[in-house]
């Protein structure tokens, strides 16, 4: 039985998968993440707010494309938590 955790947007704004247009994405499907690792940024009024993983595990889905609008509670990434 899988233990999939959803990382949601804490703020309304614009989601970014990477730090800059030329940088690689913070996470991709299959990537291992640690607690506290940045999985993306939500930009609100020119302020970039990091969104971090609150479980360690493997990214199974990135749900929002970069530069897409998000609202509070929108699922950004799904992580299968380590046992």
- Per-residue pLDDT, 1: 46
Sorted by where each starts, the structural domains of the chain and their CATH numbers stand as: 4-81 (2.40.50.100)
Q: Which residues in the chain show pLDDT less than 50?
A: 1
Do 15 and 82 touch, CB atoms closer than 8 A?
A: no
- Per-residue pLDDT, 83: 77
CA-wise closest residue to 79 among 68, 62, 67: 62
DSSP summary character for residue 24: P
- Per-residue pLDDT, 25: 96
DSSP summary character for residue 55: S
The pTM of the full predicted model, rounded to 2 decimals, is 0.90
């Amino acid at each position: 039985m899988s233990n999939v955790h959803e990382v949601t947007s804490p703020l309304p704004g614009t989601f970014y998968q990477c730090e800059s247009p030329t940088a690689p994405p913070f996470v991709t499907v299959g990537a291992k993440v640690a607690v506290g690792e940045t999985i993306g940024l939500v930009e609100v009024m020119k302020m970039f707010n990091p969104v971090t993983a609150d479980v360690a595990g493997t990214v199974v889905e990135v749900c929002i494309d970069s530069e897409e609008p998000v609202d509070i509670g929108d699922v950004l990434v799904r992580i299968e938590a380590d046992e």
